Structure 1
Amino acid sequence: MSWDKATVLKRLEVPQKEEEAEIWQNSTWLNRDNVPLPASRRNWGPWAYAGFWITSGVNVSGWAGGASLMSLGLTVSQAMIVSIVGHSLVAAVVWCTGQMGAHWHVGFPMWNRMVWGMRASYFPLINRIILSFTWSATQGWLGGQCLKTLIGAMAPGIYTMKNTMPVSTHMTSADFLCFMLFVLITIPCVLIPPEKLRRPMIFIASCSTITAFCIFIWALVRAGGGGPLLHSEGLKLVGVKPATGANLAWALFHGFSVSLGGVCAGILNMSDYTRFARKPNDPLISQAVVTPITGVLVTIIGLVCASAGAKLYPTETLLWAPYRLLTAIQIHEGTKGARAAVFFASLVFTLAQLGINIPGNLMAGGIDLTSMLPKYINIRRGAYITLAMSIAMNPWALMSGATAFISVMSGYAVFLGPMTGLMVFDYFFVHNRKVKLSALYDASPNSIYWYQKGVNWRTLIAWVMGVWPTFPGFLFSVGAKVTVSITWMRIYYLCWPLGFTISGLTYLILCKIFPLPGIGEVDDEDIFGTFGERDFMAPAVEHEGDDEKNHDSDDKDLEHNLVAVVALRE
């Protein structure tokens, strides 16, 4: 067999099913994982999205969220106010960024072809891919730490395992072993297609919620109350001076921005998951209710458990991470019952890390890489590339306590807030929620999203306008050798909402002055077989009833379709 370059490339191409090949062909812009999803692959209902958001909240990162708020000089009660408002804002924004996927069944990469232009869309795509690599590394490392606690409950000797790692690596041999074991466990899990993740997410969400409340109740009973962090002098324990006066007001605003910035990467590509919705409103309940409630409750649980831990185990450092609290329980309690409880709780938190890392980072990276090279990468291949890169990112160094890394990642909202604003304003106020799907895959001047040589210059200008006001404060926060005034730092504290608003409004004004081509255009036919016979072109109207339960006659179905098409034409 000849193994010339053309043969090798041909064998590396993503396989295509025969029934799909009759409708569309794989190309450098399209494959089955970035094409508008057909009804057969849309099976996420309200409970699946509830599981998604609970899993996204009840994990190591969400548990430790109270620490970031208290570090701003906020008391526990003030942190709770910020958490409630902040997570309510998150709920509102993810509803906006989920609409494109829920109605048109395409994800973040396709949306940005409409916003940035076919060629320029690679810019936000590359940013999101880098974030997927980084967050998959850090969440995988935290998963390894949970796994270490799990193993420690069965074999405590892992805590005293001989360390052969140099000090410069900022990890022990046990840390590295558990991280690699977590990676190995992840490998077969990636084989599950995204549309099949709904049941595992519901299961993990149920287990993690029950476990979190069990630990919360135990901490309250065992410590005889909430512990010292909940009192007025609690900030002394974290070495922070309480914010007062104007500083308090700005700390509150900063807290709102932190709440948004902490999940800004997930906000950005929410449409990657809402495109799996059976009906457009299926994600709505979880986004409006589950998201803020989960965020607030987990913050409270994390604060109370860390506070109780400070009272119960005063020789330990503050136990913000659940795996550190569980390790302390095992070491200090020393009973068989404690070891059994630590085992099951650690198992649940290990599953929770899988639950957040696989869909939130590995699958997200796979979806984005799919749109970078659709001819050769599908979601599964992209997810494995992201997993491999999570090792190459050296998470043990990233998580070593280097404040520069933490500042860079939290401050990345400086760039993502404007990107999100552009997407939302473009979809709702410029294109008026109408999309020509075929044009998203046509990389030629014939596409209405080609703009000027594949670039929408309005977007570039608007994005820069949203970034520059907060950029000086960002540079200072990451340790760059610059001097900025308190005014610039306070502007930086508002980086996500400010960037979102400035870029969105600037873009809207530019589009009014220099109108985009093809506004309001939609396809005359269901080219990709996306909507099926019943709901062809139905994104412009609300679906009524569940497809599985709706037994209307063919005449009513035809009437429904005609109404939908007319609505789009008006």
Structure 2
Amino acid sequence: MGLRNRLQVNQGDSSLAHSNKDLEPIPRDSPKRTWTWPSLLGFWIAEAFSISMYQVTSTAVTKGLSPPMALGAMVVGHVLVCIPAMLNAYVGAIHGINFPIFTRVSFGMRGSYFAVFVRGIVAVIWFGTQSYQAGQCISVMIQAIWPSFKNLPNHLPQNSPVTSSELLCFFLAIIAQLPLLYLNVSTLRYFFLVKTMVMPVFGVVLFSWAVASAHGFGPVFSKPSHIKDGTPVAVVFLQCLTSAIGPKATLALNMPDLTRYARKPREVFWTQAVGLIILVSLCGLLGATVSSASEVIYGEVTWNPLQVALLWNNRAAQFFAAFCWAFAAIGTNISANSISFSNDIALWFPKYIDTRRGAFICAFLSILSMPCAASFSSFLGGYSLFLGAIAGVIIVDFWICRRRSLRIGSLYEMHGTHYFTAGFNLRAFLAFICGIVPNMPGLAAVCGQAGIPKGATYLYSLSWLVSILVSGSVYWVLFQIKPFKVDEEEEKFAIDGVEAETVMNEESSHVILKDESKMVHEISGAGIASHAYDPEKDTGGSPLERLLKDGGIGGRSAW
């Protein structure tokens, strides 16, 4: 028992069901709310520059799509994925809850474990994939210093998906990330700030080199679309669109994990619109430009920015380019994968795992995932359809079925409003299944299954959009057939001898208490302020006036 007690994490409010301190809602005036608009915009600038986003358009150009069409597909994809990202971010900013707790609203107290499991699996594999990319960058850095490193003997079997040098660099990338995994989310904004300053400068330099070396935009962007394998241009365009959505489909669900730390909810909307649609697309512009320019300069089209760096006859430039891409991959790994998985596993084991321990577990499991295997590459290409099905359910549930009406306290009551049927909302699961079924034949074809009709593969090129629309529509129909109870009452709770109400608006959140002596106590992140009630200073039907005129004490604790 002694060891088990020492392994337990801070449980926070022990009255909350299946929770710990990291899963509790963050009040609007909490000192943890440290993210302002520069932090939010900096996050998206940091998120914009990564090898994965670079490769979205560069891969399309390699397939034969013209650079303008590849860039257009990316922008359209980012506009589409920005909508659910903004809607989900609102929940975190207003209510202070993260994604795992938010899934209790639609999937149920027990059904939420399934939703976070789906996202958690994706986060672990993506963490390994990004770490593998960072490892490749480290390999280029070492080769730039010691060219003989590329001749390091391989002691692994020939059929192994990695070589000894690649495996070594992969572990070096994992080790390099461990100190960052120790930091909490509110502190990570400084790391994102550094990436915000480094990566745009690097991007401008790389873009300028590509345009200047290719003798202007003309040779780069005048190439027409010519698909080498005969696939229709429209299908390749849609594939590029879905590829642009893929890396951000996770963030569309992740946003409450981050925006719960936002100081002003209204800043969440415009920073995401500018960051995701404009800034992230700039990395796609960089990928399309450099890939197309490489054909003009070197006579070959390459989708990998590290391969472009290796073509340079300057080892110092190779080192710094690889360093910047490694820095970018690590930053994306922390923001998009580590934070989400740590929140997910904390929901599964709230007594023993907090977000810090969860981040280290994510790093360990990513080693076991073998991200370089071809099977995982196929899976990552289609994982967005599963996330789209979840997004469709939770968005329709909160914004349409519940019309944003939500009592936070009920999310921590085991047998409360969100218990549904034995803790599962069967509507959500049926809608989820309906959302992924149309895309399964196409996913099978991508994974190597023969005999799949071409129509199924073409439909699969819109997998995320199909899954989110189908799951959301089915969920709404099921709600119309059999509605569930929706919380509409105000947030009130009772303490012996005290009446209280939770007051929430876009600027702050606090709790107002009135005891038997008619003293008023206002509790917020700044502390507790007590004063005698003065009705002349509280008119116009304010929450305080309504509270003091109430005759009874009702409800349950919201915090």
- Tell me, yes or no, whether TM beats 0.5: yes
Structure 2 CA distance for partners of 1:274 and 1:452, relative to 1, 3 Å: same
Task: State the match for 1:327 in structure 2.
Answer: 310
Q: Give the direction of change, closer, same or farther, for the CA distance of 1:104–1:558 in structure 2 (3 Å limit).
A: farther
Distance in 2 (CA, whole Å) between partners of 1:30 and 1:8 is 21
Q: 1:442-481, aligned counterparts within 5 Å?
A: 442-444=413-415, 447-481=416-450
CA contact (8 A) 2:491 2:502 kept: no
CA pair 448-300 structure 1, distance change in 2 beyond 3 A: same
Letter in 2 for 1:497: L
CA contact (8 A) 1:467 1:499 kept: yes
Determine the structure 1 residue equivalent to 2:479: 511
Matched, 1:266 2:251: yes
Q: Are residue 156 (structure 1) and residue 147 (structure 2) matched?
A: yes
1:35-434 matches, cutoff 5 A: 35-38=24-27, 39-70=30-61, 74-225=65-216, 230-232=221-223, 235=226, 239-241=228-230, 247-314=232-299, 318-329=301-312, 333=313, 338-395=314-371, 397-398=372-373, 402=374, 404-434=375-405
**Aligned-pair identity (%):** 28
Specify every segment of 5 or more residues in structure 2 that has no aligned partner in the other structure, as ranges: 510-523, 548-553, 555-559
Q: Residues 211 and 220 of structure 2 are in contact (CA less than 8 Å); yes or no, is this contact kept in structure 1?
A: no
Q: Quote the offset at 1:165 in angstroms.
A: 2.7
**Does residue 1:537 correspond to 2:503, yes or no?**
yes
Aligned to 1:9: 4
The answer to whether the 8 A contact 1:27-1:374 is kept is no
Contact 2:103/2:115, CA 8 A, preserved across alignment: yes
**Contact residue 20 and residue 354 of structure 2 kept, 8 A:** yes
Offset at residue 33 of structure 1 (A): 0.7
Distance in 1, matches of 2:22 and 2:537, equals 28
Q: Counterpart of 1:197 in 2: which secondary structure?
A: helix
Question: For residues 225 and 503 of structure 1, what CA distance do their matches in structure 2 show?
Answer: 46
1:537 alignment partner, SS class = strand
Mapped to 2, the partners of 1:557 and 1:353 lie a distance apart of 55
Q: CA deviation at 1:233?
A: 5.7
Structure 1 258/344 Cα, relative in aligned 2: closer, same or farther at 3 Å?
Answer: closer
Q: Which residue of structure 2 aligns with residue 3 of structure 1?
A: none
Deviation at 1:440, TM superposition (A): 1.2
Q: CA deviation at 1:391?
A: 0.9
Q: Does 1:30 align with 2:30?
A: no
Once residues 28 and 227 of structure 1 are traced to their aligned partners in structure 2, the CA distance between those partners, rounded to angstroms, is 62
Q: For 1:282, what is the secondary structure of its paired residue?
A: helix
Q: Is the 8 A contact 1:87 1:291 kept in 2?
A: yes
Query: In angstroms, what is the RMSD of aligned CA positions?
Result: 3.1
Greater shift, 165-174 or 424-433, is seen at: 165-174
Residues 214 and 220, structure 2, Cα contact 8 Å, conserved in 1: no
Q: Quote the Cα distance in structure 2 between the aligned partners of 1:451 and 1:147.
A: 50
Q: In structure 2, do the counterparts of structure 1 residues 74 and 326 end up closer, same or farther at CA, with 3 Å as the change threshold?
A: closer
Residue 23 of structure 2 aligns to a residue whose secondary structure is: coil
CA apart distance, 1:291: 1.1
Q: CA deviation at 1:36?
A: 0.3
Q: 2:488 aligns with which of 502, 517, 520?
A: 520
Higher fraction of strand: 2
| Greater than 4 Å deviation, 4+ residue runs | 226-229, 233-236, 554-561, 563-567
Give the Cα–Cα distance (whole angstroms) in 1 for the partners of residues 546 and 222 of structure 2: 62
- Counterpart of 2:411 (choices 418, 429, 440) is 440
- C-alpha spacing 1:526/1:410, structure 2 compared with 1 (3 Å): farther
Q: Return the alpha-carbon distance in structure 1 between the equivalents of residues 147 and 537 of structure 2.
A: 63
- Alpha-carbon distance in 1 for matches of 2:117, 2:363: 16
- The alpha-carbon deviation at position 220 of structure 1 amounts to 1.6
Q: Secondary structure at 1:270's aligned position in 2? A: helix
The two structures have a TM-score, normalised by structure 2, of 0.86
* Pair 1:147–1:448, CA change in 2 (3 A): same
Residue 550 of structure 2 corresponds to: none
> Displacement, 1:73?
5.1
Q: Partners in 2 of 1:559 and 1:265 — Cα distance?
A: 46
Query: CA offset at residue 133 of structure 1?
Result: 0.9
- C-alpha contact (below 8 Å) 1:367/1:382 kept by paired residues: yes
CA 119–321 in structure 1, closer or farther in 2 if over 3 Å, else same: same
* Alpha-carbon distance change, 526 to 465 in structure 1, aligned in 2, over 3 angstroms: farther
Change in CA separation of 1:177 and 1:306 when aligned onto 2, cut-off 3 Å:
same
CA distance in 1 between partners of 2:246 and 2:9 (Å): 35
Cα contact 2:82–2:252 (8 A) shared by 1: no
The one-letter amino acid of 2:330's match is L
Spell out, residue by residue over 1:172-221, the C-alpha distance to the aligned partner (whole angstroms, 9 max, x if none). Answer: 32222221111111111111111111121021022111101101101221
Whether the aligned pair in 2 keeps the contact of 1:526 and 1:537 (CA below 8 Å) is: no
Distance 1:379 1:467 in 2: 30
Cα contact 1:146–1:349 (8 A) shared by 2: yes
Which amino acid letter does the alignment assign opposite residue 243 of structure 2? Answer: V
Q: CA–CA distance in 2 between the matches of 1:298 and 1:557? A: 54
Q: How many residues align structurally?
A: 522
In 2, Cα distance between the equivalents of 1:566 and 1:195? Answer: 36
Q: Distance in 2 between matches of 1:423 and 1:437?
A: 15
Contact 2:427–2:479 at 8 Å: present in 1 too?
yes
Instruction: State the AA in 2 paired with 1:273.
Output: L
Amino acid at match of 2:26: L
Q: Is the 8 A contact 2:128 2:367 kept in 1?
A: yes
**CA–CA distance in structure 2, aligned partners of residues 559 and 53 of structure 1:** 43
Q: 1:263 aligns to what SS in structure 2?
A: helix
SS in structure 2 at match of 1:435: coil
